[in-house]
Structure 1
Protein backbone atom coordinates (compact mmCIF):
# COMPACT_ATOMS: atom_id res chain seq x y z
CA UNK A 1 0.00 0.00 0.00
CA UNK A 2 1.31 3.39 -0.85
CA UNK A 3 1.44 6.06 1.84
CA UNK A 4 -1.94 7.76 2.29
CA UNK A 5 -2.48 11.00 4.22
CA UNK A 6 -5.77 11.92 5.88
CA UNK A 7 -6.76 15.46 6.85
CA UNK A 8 -9.73 16.79 8.83
CA UNK A 9 -9.15 20.27 7.48
CA UNK A 10 -8.15 21.45 10.95
CA UNK A 11 -6.15 24.68 10.80
CA UNK A 12 -3.67 23.07 13.24
CA UNK A 13 -2.71 20.47 10.63
CA UNK A 14 -1.55 23.08 8.12
CA UNK A 15 -0.05 25.47 10.68
CA UNK A 16 1.97 22.81 12.49
CA UNK A 17 2.64 20.53 9.51
CA UNK A 18 1.04 17.16 10.21
CA UNK A 19 -1.70 14.83 8.98
CA UNK A 20 -4.64 13.60 11.05
CA UNK A 21 -3.68 10.09 10.00
CA UNK A 22 -1.09 8.32 7.89
CA UNK A 23 -1.71 4.85 6.46
CA UNK A 24 1.32 2.90 5.28
CA UNK A 25 2.29 -0.78 4.95
CA UNK A 26 -0.91 -2.04 6.57
CA UNK A 27 -0.79 0.32 9.53
CA UNK A 28 -2.74 3.48 10.35
CA UNK A 29 -1.25 6.06 12.70
CA UNK A 30 -3.76 8.64 13.92
CA UNK A 31 -2.31 11.83 15.39
CA UNK A 32 -3.24 13.07 18.82
CA UNK A 33 -6.84 14.21 18.42
CA UNK A 34 -8.59 16.66 20.71
CA UNK A 35 -12.27 17.38 21.22
CA UNK A 36 -12.84 20.06 18.60
CA UNK A 37 -15.95 19.87 16.50
CA UNK A 38 -14.18 20.46 13.19
CA UNK A 39 -17.42 21.39 11.42
CA UNK A 40 -17.84 24.44 13.67
CA UNK A 41 -14.26 24.73 15.07
CA UNK A 42 -15.70 24.88 18.57
CA UNK A 43 -14.52 23.11 21.68
CA UNK A 44 -17.16 21.94 24.18
CA UNK A 45 -16.38 22.66 27.82
CA UNK A 46 -17.37 19.18 29.02
CA UNK A 47 -14.75 16.39 29.14
CA UNK A 48 -17.31 13.81 27.99
CA UNK A 49 -18.25 15.83 24.92
CA UNK A 50 -14.58 16.43 24.11
CA UNK A 51 -13.84 12.71 24.43
CA UNK A 52 -16.82 11.83 22.20
CA UNK A 53 -15.73 14.37 19.56
CA UNK A 54 -12.15 13.06 19.58
CA UNK A 55 -13.33 9.46 19.17
CA UNK A 56 -15.68 10.46 16.33
CA UNK A 57 -12.86 12.32 14.53
CA UNK A 58 -10.60 9.29 14.93
CA UNK A 59 -13.31 6.96 13.62
CA UNK A 60 -13.79 9.17 10.54
CA UNK A 61 -10.04 9.25 9.86
CA UNK A 62 -9.81 5.47 10.16
CA UNK A 63 -12.83 5.00 7.88
CA UNK A 64 -11.20 7.13 5.22
CA UNK A 65 -8.48 4.49 4.81
CA UNK A 66 -10.75 1.46 5.23
CA UNK A 67 -10.33 0.77 8.94
CA UNK A 68 -12.42 1.32 12.06
CA UNK A 69 -12.21 1.50 15.83
CA UNK A 70 -12.32 -2.32 15.97
CA UNK A 71 -8.94 -2.33 14.17
CA UNK A 72 -7.17 -0.22 16.82
CA UNK A 73 -4.27 -2.04 18.50
CA UNK A 74 -2.82 0.81 20.56
CA UNK A 75 -4.37 3.90 22.17
CA UNK A 76 -2.82 6.71 24.17
CA UNK A 77 -4.94 9.10 26.23
CA UNK A 78 -3.41 12.40 27.35
CA UNK A 79 -5.21 14.53 29.94
CA UNK A 80 -4.08 17.64 31.82
CA UNK A 81 -6.24 16.66 34.83
CA UNK A 82 -6.27 13.02 35.92
CA UNK A 83 -9.53 13.67 37.80
CA UNK A 84 -11.30 13.99 34.41
CA UNK A 85 -10.25 10.50 33.28
CA UNK A 86 -13.01 8.37 34.92
CA UNK A 87 -15.71 10.45 33.16
CA UNK A 88 -14.28 9.18 29.83
CA UNK A 89 -14.35 5.48 30.71
CA UNK A 90 -17.91 4.78 29.50
CA UNK A 91 -17.06 6.37 26.13
CA UNK A 92 -13.70 4.66 25.69
CA UNK A 93 -15.09 1.33 26.87
CA UNK A 94 -17.88 1.51 24.29
CA UNK A 95 -15.54 2.65 21.50
CA UNK A 96 -12.97 -0.07 22.10
CA UNK A 97 -15.10 -2.87 23.58
CA UNK A 98 -14.32 -5.16 20.67
CA UNK A 99 -10.72 -4.16 19.86
CA UNK A 100 -9.48 -4.05 23.46
CA UNK A 101 -6.26 -2.27 22.40
CA UNK A 102 -3.17 -1.84 24.53
CA UNK A 103 -3.69 1.51 26.26
CA UNK A 104 -1.85 4.16 28.24
CA UNK A 105 -3.13 7.28 30.02
CA UNK A 106 -0.65 10.11 30.51
CA UNK A 107 -1.09 13.34 32.46
CA UNK A 108 0.44 16.26 30.56
CA UNK A 109 -0.33 19.78 29.45
CA UNK A 110 -2.03 20.17 26.08
CA UNK A 111 -1.64 22.82 23.38
CA UNK A 112 -4.60 25.01 24.41
CA UNK A 113 -6.01 25.54 27.92
CA UNK A 114 -9.55 24.53 26.87
CA UNK A 115 -8.34 21.09 25.73
CA UNK A 116 -9.21 18.42 28.32
CA UNK A 117 -8.21 15.26 26.42
CA UNK A 118 -6.12 14.19 23.45
CA UNK A 119 -6.35 10.67 22.02
CA UNK A 120 -3.82 9.00 19.69
CA UNK A 121 -4.30 5.56 18.12
CA UNK A 122 -2.52 3.01 15.97
CA UNK A 123 -4.60 0.57 13.94
CA UNK A 124 -3.94 -2.38 11.67
CA UNK A 125 -5.77 -2.30 8.34
CA UNK A 126 -8.16 -5.24 8.01
CA UNK A 127 -7.22 -8.08 5.68
Structure 2
Protein backbone atom coordinates (compact mmCIF):
# COMPACT_ATOMS: atom_id res chain seq x y z
CA UNK A 1 0.00 0.00 0.00
CA UNK A 2 1.35 3.41 -0.88
CA UNK A 3 1.54 6.49 1.27
CA UNK A 4 -1.70 8.48 1.25
CA UNK A 5 -2.28 12.03 2.47
CA UNK A 6 -5.64 13.00 3.99
CA UNK A 7 -6.87 16.58 4.37
CA UNK A 8 -9.86 18.14 6.10
CA UNK A 9 -9.68 21.10 3.73
CA UNK A 10 -8.62 23.36 6.58
CA UNK A 11 -6.72 26.42 5.38
CA UNK A 12 -4.15 25.69 8.13
CA UNK A 13 -3.04 22.52 6.37
CA UNK A 14 -2.11 24.16 3.09
CA UNK A 15 -0.60 27.24 4.75
CA UNK A 16 1.47 25.11 7.13
CA UNK A 17 2.45 22.49 4.57
CA UNK A 18 1.10 19.47 6.42
CA UNK A 19 -1.57 16.80 6.13
CA UNK A 20 -4.26 16.12 8.69
CA UNK A 21 -3.29 12.47 8.42
CA UNK A 22 -0.81 10.27 6.62
CA UNK A 23 -1.68 6.64 5.96
CA UNK A 24 1.32 4.43 5.40
CA UNK A 25 0.62 0.72 5.18
CA UNK A 26 -1.31 -0.43 8.23
CA UNK A 27 -0.62 2.79 10.13
CA UNK A 28 -2.40 6.15 10.21
CA UNK A 29 -0.66 9.11 11.78
CA UNK A 30 -3.11 11.90 12.61
CA UNK A 31 -1.58 15.35 13.09
CA UNK A 32 -2.31 17.48 16.11
CA UNK A 33 -6.00 18.33 15.83
CA UNK A 34 -7.62 21.25 17.59
CA UNK A 35 -11.26 21.85 18.43
CA UNK A 36 -12.35 23.74 15.33
CA UNK A 37 -15.56 22.76 13.64
CA UNK A 38 -14.10 22.68 10.13
CA UNK A 39 -17.51 23.00 8.45
CA UNK A 40 -18.12 26.40 10.08
CA UNK A 41 -14.51 27.29 11.03
CA UNK A 42 -15.70 28.15 14.53
CA UNK A 43 -14.15 27.21 17.86
CA UNK A 44 -16.21 26.47 20.98
CA UNK A 45 -15.14 28.37 24.07
CA UNK A 46 -15.05 25.38 26.44
CA UNK A 47 -12.57 22.51 26.50
CA UNK A 48 -15.32 19.87 26.59
CA UNK A 49 -16.71 20.84 23.19
CA UNK A 50 -13.25 21.50 21.80
CA UNK A 51 -12.23 17.96 22.80
CA UNK A 52 -15.36 16.53 21.20
CA UNK A 53 -14.62 18.43 17.98
CA UNK A 54 -11.05 17.11 18.00
CA UNK A 55 -12.33 13.54 18.15
CA UNK A 56 -15.00 14.23 15.52
CA UNK A 57 -12.30 15.40 13.10
CA UNK A 58 -10.00 12.52 14.02
CA UNK A 59 -12.77 9.97 13.47
CA UNK A 60 -13.60 11.46 10.05
CA UNK A 61 -10.01 11.33 8.80
CA UNK A 62 -9.45 7.84 10.18
CA UNK A 63 -12.58 6.60 8.43
CA UNK A 64 -11.51 8.28 5.20
CA UNK A 65 -8.25 6.36 5.46
CA UNK A 66 -10.01 3.03 6.09
CA UNK A 67 -9.50 2.97 9.86
CA UNK A 68 -11.83 2.95 12.85
CA UNK A 69 -11.52 4.66 16.21
CA UNK A 70 -10.90 1.20 17.68
CA UNK A 71 -7.65 1.11 15.68
CA UNK A 72 -6.15 3.94 17.78
CA UNK A 73 -3.09 2.66 19.63
CA UNK A 74 -1.52 5.94 20.80
CA UNK A 75 -2.89 9.36 21.79
CA UNK A 76 -1.12 12.51 22.88
CA UNK A 77 -3.08 15.35 24.46
CA UNK A 78 -1.92 18.93 24.84
CA UNK A 79 -3.93 21.24 27.10
CA UNK A 80 -3.20 24.83 28.01
CA UNK A 81 -4.73 24.83 31.51
CA UNK A 82 -4.42 22.03 34.06
CA UNK A 83 -7.87 23.03 35.35
CA UNK A 84 -9.30 21.68 32.06
CA UNK A 85 -7.81 18.21 32.53
CA UNK A 86 -10.85 16.63 34.23
CA UNK A 87 -13.29 17.95 31.60
CA UNK A 88 -10.98 16.81 28.80
CA UNK A 89 -10.50 13.36 30.34
CA UNK A 90 -14.27 12.96 30.71
CA UNK A 91 -14.58 13.29 26.93
CA UNK A 92 -11.66 10.89 26.42
CA UNK A 93 -13.43 8.38 28.65
CA UNK A 94 -16.65 8.69 26.66
CA UNK A 95 -14.92 8.18 23.34
CA UNK A 96 -11.90 5.99 24.11
CA UNK A 97 -12.99 4.25 27.31
CA UNK A 98 -13.14 0.79 25.75
CA UNK A 99 -10.27 1.40 23.30
CA UNK A 100 -7.78 2.54 25.94
CA UNK A 101 -4.81 3.55 23.78
CA UNK A 102 -1.44 4.30 25.33
CA UNK A 103 -1.58 8.02 26.00
CA UNK A 104 0.27 11.04 27.30
CA UNK A 105 -1.04 14.42 28.42
CA UNK A 106 1.09 17.53 28.40
CA UNK A 107 0.20 20.89 29.89
CA UNK A 108 1.67 23.52 27.59
CA UNK A 109 2.02 27.28 27.85
CA UNK A 110 0.00 27.88 24.69
CA UNK A 111 -1.15 26.46 21.39
CA UNK A 112 -0.98 28.22 18.04
CA UNK A 113 -3.99 30.48 18.64
CA UNK A 114 -5.21 31.78 22.00
CA UNK A 115 -8.70 30.27 21.63
CA UNK A 116 -7.22 26.75 21.35
CA UNK A 117 -7.44 24.92 24.68
CA UNK A 118 -6.69 21.37 23.55
CA UNK A 119 -4.89 19.57 20.75
CA UNK A 120 -4.95 15.81 20.16
CA UNK A 121 -2.79 13.63 17.94
CA UNK A 122 -3.22 9.90 17.46
CA UNK A 123 -1.61 6.93 15.80
CA UNK A 124 -3.77 4.06 14.58
CA UNK A 125 -2.82 0.57 13.40
CA UNK A 126 -5.23 -1.33 11.21
CA UNK A 127 -6.27 -4.53 12.92
CA UNK A 128 -5.71 -7.83 11.14
CA UNK A 129 -8.85 -9.31 9.68
Which category describes the TM-score, using the shorter chain as reference length?
A: over 0.9
Map of 2:24 onto structure 1? 24
Moved over 2 A (4+): none
Map of 1:77 onto structure 2? 77
TM-score after normalising by structure 2: 0.95
TM-score after normalising by structure 1: 0.97
Unpaired stretches in structure 2, ≥5 consecutive residues:
none
Aligned mates of 1:125, 1:28 — CA distance in 2? 8
> Could you give the per-residue CA deviations for residues 9-51 of structure 1, whole angstroms, max 9, x where no partner exists?
0110000000000000210000000000000000010111100
Equivalent position SS for 1:85? helix
Q: Please provide the CA RMSD for this pair.
A: 0.8
Map of 2:5 onto structure 1? 5
Aligned mates of 2:57, 2:35 — CA distance in 1? 8
Aligned mates of 2:10, 2:119 — CA distance in 1? 15
Equivalent position SS for 2:103? strand
Unpaired stretches in structure 1, ≥5 consecutive residues:
none
> Could you give the per-residue CA deviations for residues 39-68 of structure 1, whole angstroms, max 9, x where no partner exists?
000001011110000000000000001111
1:106 CA drift (Å): 0.4
